[in-house]
Amino acid sequence: MTSNEVAPRLLAAAAVASMAIAAFAADPDVRIEDGVLTNSKANYYFTLPERWTVKDSPDAQHLTVYLPDSTASVTLLYDLARSDGNPISLALVSALGPGSDFTPDNAGTPSRLGGQMAIELRGARTGRDGGKERVRCIATERGKYTLTITSAVSEAESKAADSQIDQVIRSFAFGKPPRKRGNGAG
């Protein structure tokens, strides 16, 4: 690889790093270490897929990660459960957005998230750019809180992003990530 080919890649990596640093400035409780994103204030962690980074983290309850140069994003909402109905159903409706034209593929599938029982919806809606996007929304209740993970990606990119979105959901756990053990050399 020539220096003319390396320079643009380094600039792109620096831009992604500076965006991640700016996002972390909003909430110092969110950090990425060894490919694991930890939100210590909301008490959860998950594996961040390769090349994904933090887009927005205004506070401990809201976090969005995304894949640069793609429409793929995953938003986590950790909020007090609403008491005016079924908290999980209300969390799903809230995560999909008011006035959304979301069309579900199914009526909701029982699932698990972070070791908790959850409900998952998959379907399509019109994105902010007017194009169709695939949406996956999974919600669980933990004590007085609901946690909702919502992914959105253009239909054209959905097959390529599915495994990375699945990685976030499958690796999600409450608590602190396990500590890495040393190699025993001392």
Write the pLDDT tens digit of every residue in 103-144. 999 888 999 999 999 999 999 999 888 899 999 999 999 888
The whole-number pLDDT of residue 181 equals 67
The whole-number pLDDT of residue 93 equals 82
Neighbours of 29 (CB within 10 A): 14
Which residues share a beta bridge with 63? 76
Q: Choose among 43, 74, 53: nearest CA to 151.
A: 74
The whole-number pLDDT of residue 184 equals 53
The whole-number pLDDT of residue 27 equals 61
186 residue type, one letter: G
d(CA 174, CA 178) in angstroms, rounded, equals: 11
The whole-number pLDDT of residue 94 equals 80
The whole-number pLDDT of residue 186 equals 46
Topology of 3-174 in CATH?
Protein Transport Mog1p; Chain A (3.40.1000)
The whole-number pLDDT of residue 18 equals 42
Return the SS3 of 144: coil
Structure tokens at 14: 């620096």
The single residue listed with the structure tokens 């699945």 is 166
The whole-number pLDDT of residue 14 equals 41
The whole-number pLDDT of residue 97 equals 76
User: Residues in the chain with pLDDT < 70?
Assistant: 1-27, 85, 98, 181-186
What separation in angstroms does the CA of 65 have from each of 17, 55, 84, 103, 149? Answer: 13, 5, 30, 24, 11
The whole-number pLDDT of residue 118 equals 94
d(CA 107, CA 122) in angstroms, rounded, equals: 9
Q: Alpha-carbon dihedral of residues 7, 12, 15, 16, nearest 10 degrees?
A: -140
The pTM of this model reads: 0.79
Contacts of 121 (CB under 8 A, 6+ apart): 92, 96, 102, 104, 105, 106, 108, 109, 135, 136, 137, 138
